[in-house]
């Protein structure tokens, strides 16, 4: 290969990866459809292969989250319809996914959807061991909220209630 | 395997990974039986979510064991096609759900152990095992906060709830010795840097459990010579029934698919 061909290969690899990222940004989380899997922060890497295919690094949120299998299927389908094949999905366990991987855009979307986003960073050593954080109601903004149930409708959520507007709301757990 | 500090037969590695996987799977299966039967909807959700995490961790572990073994077995083969004596789970997790108090006591004793184990196992010389432990640790912390808060509520609750969890504690305590009894196989794994030394895990577990029992106004039972060896495949009368139910479908309809 000469230098021009090398440059071309690099560019087309980058173009493939950009197309893959764009396609992935359209894949919804099956349990929180307002979030894309890119917002959720579970796509660790996208690598163009020499054969025109792509390798995707996918980090599961919870070890036993049933959505993981649906997400894998949706990723393959989305990349397939974007003309990217073959697709290899690699599961990435380390470093583990935490709620800190949710993008700022994803946090905004969660809040607008009525799910309180994770209230704190779990990566900061100062936060470890802290039990209680004041949560704002995603509907009325009040701080007068309390936990109803530490576990909710999906592994990633807990159930809270606002004592001001009296509405229950879901909270995306910090983990 | 040149990255390992000392050569360890792959059988020893597989056996250890299966011990962890089996304990998780059996406890997950036990908790699964409570779905729809827990005392309140919130507890149904808490128990179901804990079961889901435990089984998810077990799947990662079985897949890893299958890879190390390299004989083409899958996670399902390990879960559904092994006999009782091949199971390596702690006898603690196969003890019956009992009343809600007993379910919670079993969970607290297990969660506190798993938490202290994963804290150390995330630094294992085995990078795959370390990754599974680091991921599971965040879930287990959450489980412990849940089971621990219930133990305090029940222990420091009414005379009835206190008496019931104290009785459950006396009944299950003897099974905790197995968590820390170290044999030659365990020491070999620790020397190879694969697992933490059990005495260190025991001290941390003991401190954690004592503090929680004090908060729950429960008396810590004394250790007795009672021993059980679930990790070596010797089980109490309960495991056979659990497996019979869990394995019924794949054994009756081999190769069945959803």
Does A64 contact B138 at a Cβ distance shorter than 8 Å?
no
Name the residue facing A62 among B56, B146, B149 (closest C-beta).
B56
Average pLDDT over residues B126-146: 95
Cβ burial of B253 (10 Å; 0-12, 13-18, 19+) is exposed
Tell me if B1 is assigned to some domain: no
List of residues 6+ apart from A87 with CB closer than 8 A: A53, A54, A55, A56, A75, A76, A79, A80
Q: What is the CATH number of the domain that holds B247?
A: 1.20.1260.10
Q: Are B97 and B30 in contact (CB under 8 A)?
A: yes
Rg (CA), chain A: 19
Query: In this predicted structure, what is the pLDDT of residue A1?
Result: 46
Q: Where are the domains of chain A?
A: 3-97, 100-172
B4 inside domain: no
The answer to whether position B177 is within a domain reads yes
Query: How far is it, in rounded angstroms, from Cα A129 to Cα A122?
Result: 10
For residue B69, the enclosing domain spans 10-252
SS3 of residue B115 by DSSP: helix
Is B205 within a domain? yes
Torsion of CA B28, B31, B33, B38, to 10 degrees: -160
Cβ atoms within 10 Å, residue B134: 19
Residue B29 lies in a domain: yes
- Say whether pLDDT at B2 is over 50: no
Are the beta carbons of A158 and A150 closer than 8 angstroms?
A: yes
User: What does the pLDDT profile of chain A (175 residues) look like in tens digits?
Assistant: 455 555 555 558 888 999 999 999 999 999 899 999 999 999 999 999 888 889 999 999 998 888 888 999 999 999 999 999 899 999 999 999 999 999 999 999 999 999 999 887 777 655 444 555 678 899 899 999 998 988 888 888 999 999 999 999 999 988 8
Please compute Rg for chain B using Cα positions: 18
Question: What's the pTM value of the predicted model, to 2 decimals?
Answer: 0.90
Question: Domain count of chain B?
Answer: 1
Residue B206 lies in a domain: yes
Closest to B49 (Cβ–Cβ): which among A97, A98, A155?
A155
- The half-sphere exposure of B9 on its side-chain side, counting CA atoms within 13 A, is 5
Q: How far apart are CA A95 and CA A42, in angstroms?
A: 11
CATH number of A3-97: 3.30.300.130
Please tell me the distance in Å from A101's CA to the nearest CA on chain B.
14
Is B193 domain-assigned? yes
| Chain A hits for B135, Cβ within 8 Å | 60, 63, 93-94, 96-97
pLDDT at residue B161 tops 80: yes
ipTM of the predicted assembly exceeds 0.85: no
Is B258 inside any structural domain?
no
Give dist(CA B36, CA B43) in Å, integer.
Answer: 10
Q: CA of B81: how far to CAs of A146, B22, B237, B249, B255, in Å?
A: 46, 13, 19, 11, 11
Contact A150 B145 (CB under 8 A): yes
How close is the nearest chain A Cα to the Cα of B132, in Å?
A: 7
């Amino acid at each position: 290969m000469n230098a021009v061909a090398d440059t071309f290969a690099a560019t087309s690899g980058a173009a493939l990866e950009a197309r893959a990222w764009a396609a992935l940004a359209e894949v919804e989380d099956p349990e929180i459809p307002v979030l894309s899997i890119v917002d959720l922060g579970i796509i660790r890497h996208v690598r163009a292969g020499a054969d025109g295919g792509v390798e995707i690094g996918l980090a599961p949120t919870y070890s036993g989250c049933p959505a993981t299998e649906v997400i894998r299927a949706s990723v393959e389908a989305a990349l397939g319809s974007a003309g990217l094949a073959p697709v290899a999905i690699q599961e990435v366990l380390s470093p583990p996914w935490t709620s800190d991987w949710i993008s700022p855009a994803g946090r905004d979307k969660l809040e607008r959807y009525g799910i309180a986003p994770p209230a704190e960073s779990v990566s900061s050593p100062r936060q470890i061991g802290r039990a209680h954080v004041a949560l704002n109601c995603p509907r009325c903004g009040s701080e007068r909220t309390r936990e109803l149930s530490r576990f909710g409708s999906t592994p990633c959520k807990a159930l809270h209630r606002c004592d001001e507007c009296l509405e229950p709301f879901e909270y995306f757990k910090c983990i | 395997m040149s990255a390992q500090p000392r050569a360890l037969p792959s059988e020893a590695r597989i056996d250890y990974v299966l011990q962890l996987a089996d304990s998780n799977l059996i406890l997950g299966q036990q908790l699964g039986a409570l779905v729809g039967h827990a005392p309140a909807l919130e507890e149904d959700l808490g128990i179901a979510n804990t079961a889901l995490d435990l089984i998810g961790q077990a799947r990662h572990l079985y897949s890893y064991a299958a890879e190390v073994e390299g004989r083409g077995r899958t996670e399902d083969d390990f879960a559904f096609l092994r006999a009782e004596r091949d199971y390596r789970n702690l006898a603690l997790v196969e003890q019956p759900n009992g009343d809600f108090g007993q379910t919670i006591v079993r969970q607290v004793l297990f969660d506190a152990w798993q938490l202290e184990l994963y804290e150390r196992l995330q630094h294992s010389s085995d990078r795959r095992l370390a990754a599974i432990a680091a991921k599971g640790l965040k879930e287990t912390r959450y489980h412990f906060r849940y089971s621990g808060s219930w133990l305090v509520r029940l222990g420091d609750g009414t005379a009835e709830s206190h008496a019931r969890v104290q009785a459950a504690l006396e009944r299950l305590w003897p099974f905790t010795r197995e968590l820390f009894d170290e044999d030659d196989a365990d020491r070999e794994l620790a020397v190879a840097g694969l697992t933490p030394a059990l005495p260190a895990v025991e001290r941390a577990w003991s401190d954690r459990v004592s503090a929680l029992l004090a908060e729950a106004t429960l008396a810590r039972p004394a250790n007795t010579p009672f021993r059980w060896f679930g990790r070596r495949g010797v089980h109490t009368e309960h495991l056979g029934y659990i497996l019979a139910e869990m394995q019924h479908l794949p054994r009756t309809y081999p190769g069945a698919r959803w």
